[in-house]
A and B are shown apart, each in its own frame.
Chain A
Amino acid sequence: QQPVQSPQAVILREGEDAVINCSSSKALYSVHWYRQKHGEAPVFLMILLKGGEQKGHEKISASFNEKKQQSSLYLTASQLSYSGTYFCGTVAGGTSYGKLTFGQGTILTVHP
């Protein structure tokens, strides 16, 4: 089952902050975040692992609430280059072991 992202779209001015949320109904082992610019391939931002380990870019911050199966991506002091569609991807146990399931995406637009 696909994780649910919120909001579906965000419009910001440069310098403003945004939070993108990702929620799953399954027990998760990890949450991945990717950004995709229009017409391009998704690009990796961060992985958050069960137990607290994180791997990713230093300027990106995120959290993973294992009890609630929720993750949030924090974009602070936004820049024009932050514009794009953000996807969370989840790795769950059981029959979906090892498979990354993506949410529907959140469109972020940053204006000057």
Chain B
Amino acid sequence: NAGVTQTPKFQVLKTGQSMTLQCAQDMNHNSMYWYRQDPGMGLRLIYYSASEGTTDKGEVPNGYNVSRLNKREFSLRLESAAPSQTSVYFCASSEAAGISANEQFFGPGTRLTVL
């Protein structure tokens, strides 16, 4: 099993460009998440999908959109990239979200720089 995979691993964009970060999991998990990690800020939730067909905003959703394409795949789109979106982006998945949230499995991350 590959676990959680993310593409690309590195990306450099110019301000105003758009791009989509791809994430896929092969563990048959119901819930998937997108986080960004900035120095000294820990991990901040951008969007999550508790189950196939649903998505919900996290702490820092502005400037991002997501699509839960199917149970395996959850993509994150930056429509018009800004320097403030320079960060490391992690995708994660778990069996379920909610009160009894299970452990989350993280992908290797995408290092994005916006010039």
Instruction: Name A residues whose Cβ lies closer than 8 Å to a Cβ of B.
Output: 2, 29-30, 32, 34, 40-44, 47, 49, 55, 87, 89, 91, 93, 97-105
Contacts and interface: CB of A to CB of B under 8 A. Distances in A.
B41 interface: yes
Contacts, number: 67
Interface residues of B, number: 27
A100 B50 CA distance: 12
Interface of A is mostly: strand
Given A44-B104, A47-B102, A87-B42, A101 B97 contact: no
B84 interface: no
A30 B103 CA distance: 11
B48 A99 contact: yes
Given A41-B109, A44-B104, A91 B58 contact: no
A101 B104 contact: no
A100 B97 CA distance: 9
A43 B106 contact: yes
12 contacts: A2-B42, A30-B101, A40-B108, A41-B90, A42-B90, A42-B106, A91-B101, A98-B99, A99-B45, A100-B101, A100-B104, A102-B35
Nearest to A40: B108
Interface of B is mostly: loop
Contacts of A99: 45, 48, 56, 58-59, 97
Contacts of A30: 99-101
Contacts of B103: 32, 44, 47, 55
B98 interface: yes
B44 interface: yes
B109 A98 contact: no
Given A41-B106, A41-B107, A42-B90, A97 B43 contact: no
Interface in B32-54: 33, 35, 40-45, 48, 50
B99 A105 contact: no
Given A41-B108, A44-B105, A91 B99 contact: yes
B36 to A, nearest CB: 11
